[in-house]
Structure 1
Amino acid sequence: MFDHESELEIGLASGMLVRIDPKGARLTSVVLPSDDGPVELLIGPDPKQKTRDFHGATIGRYANRIAGAQFTLDGEQFQLDANEGGNCLHGGGKGFDQCDWTVVAHWINAATLRLESPDGDQGFPGNLVAEVSFAVSDPETLSITYRACCDRACPVSLTSHGYFNLAGGGSIADHRLKLNAKQVLEVDGEKLPVGGPRDVAGTRFDFREPAPALGPDGAGFDHNFCTGSGGMREVAVLSDPASGRSMTMLSNQPGLQVYTAPSGDSFNAICLEPQAWPDAPNHPEFPSAILRPGVEYVNRIRLQFSS
């Protein structure tokens, strides 16, 4: 399914194997050992798919959507590349997922890649240098760390867009999801936030206890859950009762985009994307996503698998 010729491999002899494509700093494979042989937990793109492929990619400069593909910062208005109707999605038509990242380090169990994004890239201000490090530790833990710095204030929100299926394939209808989130952002028809955070209690968005990952109506999600602030903390647990596998996600980000990927008449994967809140540059009441010179952006993601 994937071209492995240019990919990096990291992992442990007795544990997981991870493959990364420098094109888009993209996870292409996460394999865990099992009693029945290796199991691939990442779902790749449909070969017939005509739309842009975000599977496993690093998303930037700004994950999710910015309304009207514009924002005002320090009194100046910026026009971004509008690649989803009139809005900017995942950094524009040539976001970080479309770029060739430079491999700056590669060890047995870790790799670091770098990208330089020039001033005006997709309309974003300032020169920005981004790095992502992938590391496998313990038999079944994958850590992804994003860092960035800039020479001019700009919105920054990087994330990893991996499509996971803990059964290794088929529908995720039987997967269970638990989220440490008391609030969610409701969205309009363009998937843009409507108003402020809403309590999840009594709604289909309540995952404070494990519940079917597709929701009580099986309709799936493309929503930002508000996961609070602070250091590294558990934000989500995904599990597959049939196989007994689970994935616990830790993050330091204020939001978690939950996206269930459609496949024909069902859903075959789920994305859990730690990030800033969507359209935050146009919502001063949201947690700030503005990176300023002299400050380092850091997004830490840890995936702890259990089989």
Structure 2
Amino acid sequence: MKSFKHQIKIIILCIMTATLMSCNGNSKNGDGSYKVFFIENKQGMQAEFCENGARLMSLKVPDKNGILTDVVIGFENPADYDKATEPYFGATIGRYGNRIAKGKFKLNGESYQLTINNGVNTLHGGKTGFQYQNWTLKKVNDSTLVCTLSSPDGDNGFPGKLNAKVTYVLTSANALTIAYEATTNQPTIVNLTNHAFFNLNGSGSILDHTLMINADRYTPVDSTLIPSGELAPVTGTPFDFRIAEKIGFCISATNDQLRFGKGYDHNYVLNPSKILPAAEVCGDKSGIIMSIYTTEPGLQFYSGNFMQGKNKLRNGPDNFRTAFCLETQHFPDSPNHSNFPSTVLMPDEVYKSKSEYVFSVNR
């Protein structure tokens, strides 16, 4: 009798759980380990996320013919991100986006050593950065998703316990807004961003996409892609995108900076503007325009130079330069350059950053 009652309770619990998930409509089982979350706006835009890395898996926007196009490359199954040779697809990056030289920095007279995962340097938070961690995701309404993560003191060598929150919203203006917040219980450094790989045509080469970056200067790097500390003018260089130009226009030019990055993999010093976007890209085939606005001082432009076709994605392999990244951020290696904007977060402060990706079409 006890066994029979126990089975009845299990059946009732399963029915209640299935009903609750169906009513909420905000998640589904991926491989049994991760859930997938969907948000949308009333104009038909759709975004898909998973728990591992608080990751943007898919972003569908209408092209010039009104056909929904997925402009973010990625896997169909969230578990595949754990096995990928490229761990950053669509992930929320932390605690520190971009590189820190030899994983070393000083803060308030104390020296810190981070985990090394990119040659001799630390990249995107170290060996087990936020992209490898499972976040808590909650769908607030049809168009809003909140992601939270608690990072313990000493996580990958970073000081202090950090509580991070990222809010994704699809607005009625066909924009994806990303709002970051973080607090700490002791002095630390923070530089959060999203590492979506974009292709505004949905697939194929990105070299004929046109790109504008509203920046008069950029931060040159050494052969390990660590900034020298110089804020160099883009004038007369292949890095001048102040007037929209094809991504591939100068990408093969003879230039040490392009040689170091095997193409573009550089931080731009954004010109402050309340009117102009930080960057704007147009897909040559789809007519989709993506305009980026941000509170951040920098933007990392990466032209997919290390993509090698080793990952089988929804729309085929991740071949060389079939996607680009525009990561809103503070500058790489800022803790080691006093002339760069500070990335220090104190216990009595709240880290806040906001970026907006607005989509329209060129007919």
| TM-score bracket for this pair, using the shorter chain length | over 0.9
Q: In 2 relative to 1, CA 222–253 (structure 1 residues): closer, same or farther, beyond 3 Å?
A: same
2:354 maps to 300
Which aligned pairs between 1:244-255 and structure 2 lie closer than 5 A? 244-255=287-298
1:279 maps to 333
Alpha carbons 2:182, 2:352 under 8 Å: kept = yes
- Structure 2 CA distance, aligned partners of 1:230 and 1:283? 24
Aligned residue among 240, 244, 259 for 2:302:
259
For residue 122 of structure 1, give the secondary structure of its aligned residue in structure 2.
helix
Aligned residue among 17, 27, 42 for 2:56:
27
**1:78-128 deviation line (CA, Å, top 9, x unaligned):** 011111122111001100011111124431010101000011000000011
Aligned residue among 189, 214, 223 for 2:266:
223
- Structure 2 CA distance, aligned partners of 1:252 and 1:190? 28
2:96 maps to 62
Greater CA drift, 174-183 or 233-242 = 233-242
Q: CA RMSD in A?
A: 2.2
* Residue type at the aligned position of 2:285: A
1:103 maps to 137
In the alignment of these two chains, the number of paired residues is: 306
- Structure 1 CA distance, aligned partners of 2:159 and 2:149? 16
Greater CA drift, 295-304 or 36-45 = 36-45
2:37 maps to 8
Does 1:79 pair with 2:108?
Answer: no
- Structure 1 CA distance, aligned partners of 2:304 and 2:251? 16
Alpha carbons 1:214, 1:260 under 8 Å: kept = no
Q: In 2 relative to 1, CA 272–132 (structure 1 residues): closer, same or farther, beyond 3 Å?
A: same
Percent identity reads 38
Consecutive unaligned residues in structure 1, runs of 5 or more: none
1:238 maps to 281
**1:114-145 deviation line (CA, Å, top 9, x unaligned):** 00001100000001100000001115211011
Does 1:152 pair with 2:181?
Answer: no
Alpha carbons 2:173, 2:358 under 8 Å: kept = no
* Residue type at the aligned position of 1:305: F
Greater CA drift, 40-49 or 231-240 = 40-49
Q: In 2 relative to 1, CA 95–230 (structure 1 residues): closer, same or farther, beyond 3 Å?
A: farther
**1:188-216 deviation line (CA, Å, top 9, x unaligned):** 11110023110000000001100112341
1:209 maps to 243
For residue 324 of structure 2, give the secondary structure of its aligned residue in structure 1.
strand
Greater CA drift, 33-42 or 85-94 = 33-42
Does 1:133 pair with 2:184?
Answer: no
- Structure 1 CA distance, aligned partners of 2:272 and 2:287? 31
Q: In 2 relative to 1, CA 236–201 (structure 1 residues): closer, same or farther, beyond 3 Å?
A: same
1:91 maps to 125
- Structure 1 CA distance, aligned partners of 2:30 and 2:56? 12
Q: In 2 relative to 1, CA 301–60 (structure 1 residues): closer, same or farther, beyond 3 Å?
A: same
Q: Which has the higher helix share?
A: 2
**1:149-180 deviation line (CA, Å, top 9, x unaligned):** 11111110000000111111000111010011
- Structure 2 CA distance, aligned partners of 1:115 and 1:29? 21
Task: Tell which structure's C-alpha radius of gyration is larger.
Answer: 2
Greater CA drift, 102-111 or 141-150 = 102-111
1:39 maps to 69
Greater CA drift, 206-215 or 167-176 = 206-215
TM-score by length of structure 2 reads 0.79
Alpha carbons 1:232, 1:251 under 8 Å: kept = no
Q: Which has the higher strand share?
A: 1
Alpha carbons 2:277, 2:291 under 8 Å: kept = yes
Q: In 2 relative to 1, CA 232–280 (structure 1 residues): closer, same or farther, beyond 3 Å?
A: farther
TM-score by length of structure 1 reads 0.93
